[in-house]
Chain A
Amino acid sequence: MKFLNLFALTSLFCAAPLAAKVKVVTTTEDLAALAAEVAGDSAEVTAIARGYQDPHFVEAKPSYLLKLKKAQLFIQVGLELETGWAPALLSSARNPGILPGRPGFMDASEGCEILGKPTGGVDRSLGDVHPLGNPHYWLNPENGRVIARAIAHRLSVMDPDNSGKYKANLAAFEERLSEKEKEWDASAAAFKGVKVVTYHNSWPSFARRFGLEVVDFVEPRPGIPPSPAHIHSLITRIRASGVRLLLVEPYFDLKLPEKVAAESGAALVVIPPSVGGEAGIKTYSGLFDRQLELLKNALGGK
């Protein structure tokens, strides 16, 4: 009898992890927001980098290993956005299930529309260029849709008992996104064709989706700080081209952009590129709501 009791107790403990929520760890808050939309209450989703951090320069802190050790699904932006920190974390996490090639590893860029793939040779004379294409692709909501579908598929395979929930959550998310896209398109119609300069080359997907024209960058090459000569020619170009907006991510120092804006007449917009980039942005749709609101406000007085 004692043996049977012990067996029952052991079975309960062993069964507990199966009933537990799927543990999902993402590199960014954007991916975490999409995963949370799809997973609902069936998964525990955490992000490593905060939305107000530059995702290129996240430190590979050992404390992140505590999250990764228990993760069942790891999702990264890919295209070498996290190359400075994610591979080091993965190889140190002692969790083989989430290593590249394993079922618990997911690269969200697969299936997405990727812009800015270099056509010629690539080397570091071009700056911190991404040879596989521009990794800021989540800033096109259609790519968000692709990512959500991929996450739903992956969760359904890993957790078939809840696959119905994942499908239903995905369908609800897609419906909400479609409604939102109609709103956003109406809102963006006011600034179609507006010329902008951005600090870093983070906005090609966003610009293409909402009709902005990116004319130049504050960085002469990705990741390379601007020289006085570059700033001088940028100011001249902004004046000559009729650039109306200067978009800067919140993690860059504003001293130089403020000078460029003041001397060129372009309106400076500090615009978050990620969920969590401002305290109030908590969802993927909320990110576009806020971005378009900022652009609309900046252009309102122009």
Chain B
Amino acid sequence: MSREITVFLQFDQCVLVKQNRVLLSEVASIYGSEPAMRQKIGALELHRFPKEQKEKQVFSVMKVVELIGRAYPEVTVTPVGEPDFIVEYKPEKKRKFEKAAEWCKTGFVALAVFFGSAFTIVTFNKDAGVDEIFPMIYRLTEGAERSGPGELEIAYSLGLPLGIILFFNHFLRKKIDSDPTPLQVQMRQYEKDVNATIIENATREGKKVDV
């Protein structure tokens, strides 16, 4: 009696939820020609986390197709995007020192980056023999030894921060162009690798929610 309805669902690789009841509308963007059906599908419950604690669960899109097929057999589901996705459940808890703890951790990493990069440049200078190359250039161009650092050292010291600013594409919050910085790119790449590994592990250990 009813005509066929097609619904498109797009999934992201990883979604963060705060409630233990996970609805389809939270994990996918849903499009279909009938808004009422979109609403009904969005309200379907995909999963319920049993405990009030941080947890990650991997789902196959097939599970979603089955869920919709059971509730609304007249609907044709067309999934787009990731074939598997992660739902990360993080119950909202107000911890007092969360902000302070985060700044402590940031401070820790900042100190490691500061002293670490300082250490690295000095080891580079020593390893590459910068303190021999500059005197050599003075000797070749002036025909005599020089005592102490001069123009080359000053310019090199200017060039270093300049190079890093060019490379990282910003200083403090001021960006040179609108591209993300290399570390931001690397960060996303790392995140993607982690997500892919979580999905692979869940598949291999049979912990993925599948049909």
* Same complex: no
